[in-house]
């Protein structure tokens, strides 16, 4: 295990949604109250048994961030959220509980003013909500359950409840989307001044209703160039409105980078609890079972791993590079050296030179960072650091 830095992130997965969106291949499903209660019981058991499960002790870790994601965490009773956070507080030490970044994902149309107030009372200080589009036809095309009005009500209610750190999710390349409708969505969102915006290009995943509709080349609503144009426009409009792109798909106003996600891109330790959740502890990546029945009825916690990958030092170096290069600031050369005791050039000299010559990578202020073109061709660059 990496003993040097034991700051910790905790991810909690709530795999329930009111209804499955047509493009979604996340681990999420509609469920009744008794399934939700059974699930939370299993989740709490998993958190209580985590030290035994990971073979370490709580004294090594200080929690910096908690992220309750899904699915739709707001579709379970807030009393469940209270139990989960109470259990985390009991089992873990925070670096400073007041300053722990605690995020919850909520879907417009699934949250009431009372729920938002309860979240604040529980110390949840960051809210992430999925608008995707301000255009009603695009929302319908995606199979979302909410309208623009639902989103606006949730947004204003969250501000009213005292949330001063809000993320809004947007989507590009939605069937029927035009430059005009996308610009309208972005304008509407930036006028609201959320602290953070995530903007992802729609991916048509196999096994979804979208794949049936748009899965073949002829049926695709946009080709690669059109998708890239929409994405470039998104970046430009968000940057013009004062949002810094600090990761491929993530934008923030000053001081509002997601601390939780930044920990993923910088390979900090994190525990993931819940169905299908992943963890990274030192040089081991764990992944829980994705099977609901096995998760809820498991006899003993170690059984919930269906994957347990021990990473070699080379694997860890590769991850450090390609995860770090997702971020606009890139990879800290000093950080790499202090982690692995060797300079990045000594390991990846050839790749670094090649990408610099191709205009995809630059060096500035002790960081190796992707150029805008390097971000566009991210997958090509990341693959170069995989040995
Ligand atoms: S709300 Fe999110 S997780 Fe749930 S079905 Fe829709 S896209 Fe998937």
User: For atom 6 of ligand 1, which residue has the closest CA?
Assistant: 21
User: For atom 8 of ligand 1, which residue has the closest CA?
Assistant: 24
User: pLDDT confidence of 257, banded at 50, 70, 90?
Assistant: very high
Domain boundaries, the chain: 7-263, 313-387
**And the tokens for 77?**
């009773």
Residue 3 has pLDDT above 90, yes or no: no
266/263 Cα distance (integer angstroms): 5
User: pLDDT confidence of 301, banded at 50, 70, 90?
Assistant: low
Ligand 1 centre to CA of 205 (Å) is: 13
Region 206-224: mean pLDDT is: 90
User: pLDDT confidence of 58, banded at 50, 70, 90?
Assistant: low
Sign of the CA dihedral running 32, 290, 200, 250 = positive
Average pLDDT, the chain: 94
User: pLDDT confidence of 53, banded at 50, 70, 90?
Assistant: confident
Lowest mean pLDDT of 76-90, 192-206, 217-231, 338-352, name the range.
217-231
Ligand 1 centre to CA of 168 (Å) is: 14
Lowest mean pLDDT of 12-26, 204-218, 363-377, name the range.
204-218
pLDDT of the residue at 304:
66
Task: Report DSSP letters for 253-272, one per residue.
Answer: STT---HHHHHHHTT-EEEE
Ligand 1 centre to CA of 28 (Å) is: 7
pLDDT of the residue at 6:
86
User: For atom 2 of ligand 1, which residue has the closest CA?
Assistant: 71
Which H or E run includes 371? none
φ, ψ dihedrals at 367, nearest 5°: -115, 145
Q: With beta carbons less than 8 A apart as the criterion, state whether 366 and 380 touch.
A: no
Ligand 1 centre to CA of 184 (Å) is: 23
**Confidence (pTM):** 0.95
pLDDT tens digits, one per residue of 27-37: 999 999 999 99
Chain centroid to CA 382? 19
User: For atom 5 of ligand 1, which residue has the closest CA?
Assistant: 20
Neighbours of 22 (CB within 10 A): 18
Residue 1 has pLDDT above 80, yes or no: no
Q: Would you give the DSSP letter of residue 207?
A: T
Write the CB contacts of 200 (distance below 8 Å, at least 6 apart in sequence). Answer: 169, 170, 171, 172, 249
Q: With beta carbons less than 8 A apart as the criterion, state whether 272 and 5 touch.
A: no
User: For atom 7 of ligand 1, which residue has the closest CA?
Assistant: 24
Q: Which atom of ligand 1 is nearest to the CA of 19?
A: 5
Lowest mean pLDDT of 78-92, 162-176, 216-230, name the range.
216-230
User: pLDDT confidence of 216, banded at 50, 70, 90?
Assistant: confident
pLDDT of the residue at 298:
79
Strand duo 367-370 + 331-332: pairing: antiparallel
pLDDT of the residue at 290:
93
Please compute Rg for the chain using Cα positions. 21
pLDDT of the residue at 162:
98
pLDDT tens digits, one per residue of 287-298: 999 999 999 997
pLDDT of the residue at 303:
61
Task: Report DSSP letters for 24-45, one per residue.
Answer: --SS-B---HHHHHHHHHHHHH
Residue 348 has pLDDT above 60, yes or no: yes
Pocket of ligand 1 (CB under 6 A): 17, 20-21, 24, 26, 28, 70-72, 107
Neighbours of 226 (CB within 10 A): 14
Ligand 1 centre to CA of 312 (Å) is: 35
**How far apart, in Å, are the Cα atoms of 138 and each of 131, 134, 175, 310?**
11, 8, 7, 43
Q: How far apart are the first and last CA of the chain?
A: 22
User: Considering the chain, what percentage of its residues have pLDDT values greater than 70?
Assistant: 96
376/342 Cα distance (integer angstroms): 29
72/30 Cα distance (integer angstroms): 10
Which of 19, 28, 128 is the best mutation target for the ligand 1 pocket, counting ligand atoms within 8 Å of the beta carbon and taking the most?
Answer: 28
Region 150-160: mean pLDDT is: 97
Residue 302 has pLDDT above 70, yes or no: no
Which H or E run includes 174? none
CATH class of 313-387: mainly alpha
Residue 313 has pLDDT above 80, yes or no: yes
Fold of 7-263: TIM Barrel (3.20.20)
Q: Name the more confident of 216 and 151.
A: 151
pLDDT tens digits, one per residue of 224-253: 899 999 999 999 999 999 999 999 999 999
Region 83-107: mean pLDDT is: 96
Encode burial over 30-63: b for 16+ CB neighbours within 10 A, e otherwise.
ebeeeebebbbebbbbbbeebbebbebeeeebbb
**Helices (H), ranges, 19-130:** 33-48, 50-54, 78-91, 113-121
Burial category of 311 from C-beta neighbours within 10 Å (exposed 0-12, middle 13-18, buried 19 and up): middle
Region 302-324: mean pLDDT is: 88
- 3-state DSSP assignment of residue 334: helix
């Amino acid at each position: 295990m990496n003993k040097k830095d034991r700051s910790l992130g905790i991810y909690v997965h709530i795999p329930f949604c009111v209804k499955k969106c047509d493009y979604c291949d996340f681990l999420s499903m509609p469920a009744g109250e008794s399934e939700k209660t059974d699930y939370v019981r299993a989740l709490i058991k998993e958190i209580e048994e985590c030290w035994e499960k990971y073979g370490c002790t709580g004294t090594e870790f200080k929690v910096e961030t908690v992220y309750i994601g899904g699915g739709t965490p707001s579709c379970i009773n807030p009393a469940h959220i209270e139990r989960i956070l109470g259990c985390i507080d009991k089992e873990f030490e925070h670096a400073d509980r007041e300053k722990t970044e605690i995020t919850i994902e909520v879907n417009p149309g699934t949250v009431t003013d009372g729920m938002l107030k309860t979240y604040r009372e529980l110390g949840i200080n960051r809210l992430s909500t999925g608008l995707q589009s301000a255009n009603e036809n695009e929302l319908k095309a995606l199979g979302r359950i909410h309208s623009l009005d639902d989103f606006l009500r949730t947004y204003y209610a969250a501000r009213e409840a005292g949330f001063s750190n809000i993320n809004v999710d947007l989507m590009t390349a939605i069937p029927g989307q035009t430059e005009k409708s996308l610009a309208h969505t972005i304008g509407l969102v930036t006028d609201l001044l959320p602290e953070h915006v995530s903007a992802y290009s729609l991916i048509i995943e196999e096994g979804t209703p979208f794949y049936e509709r748009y899965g073949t080349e002829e049926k695709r609503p946009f080709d690669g160039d059109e998708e890239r144009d929409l994405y470039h426009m998104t970046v430009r409009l968000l940057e013009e409105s004062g949002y810094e792109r600090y990761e491929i798909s993530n934008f923030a106003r000053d001081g509002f980078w997601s601390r939780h996600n930044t920990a993923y891109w910088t390979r900090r330790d994190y525990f993931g609890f819940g169905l299908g959740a992943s963890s990274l502890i030192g040089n081991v990546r764990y992944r829980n079972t994705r099977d609901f029945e096995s998760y809820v009825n498991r006899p003993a916690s170690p059984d919930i791993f269906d994957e347990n990958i021990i990473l070699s030092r080379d694997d860890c170096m590769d991850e450090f590079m390609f995860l770090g290069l997702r971020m606009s600031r890139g990879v800290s050369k000093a950080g790499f050296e202090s982690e692995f005791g060797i300079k990045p050039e000594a390991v990846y000299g050839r790749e670094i030179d090649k990408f610099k010559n191709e205009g995809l990578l630059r060096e500035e202020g002790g960081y190796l960072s992707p150029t805008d073109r390097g971000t566009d061709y991210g997958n090509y660059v990341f693959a170069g650091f995989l040995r």
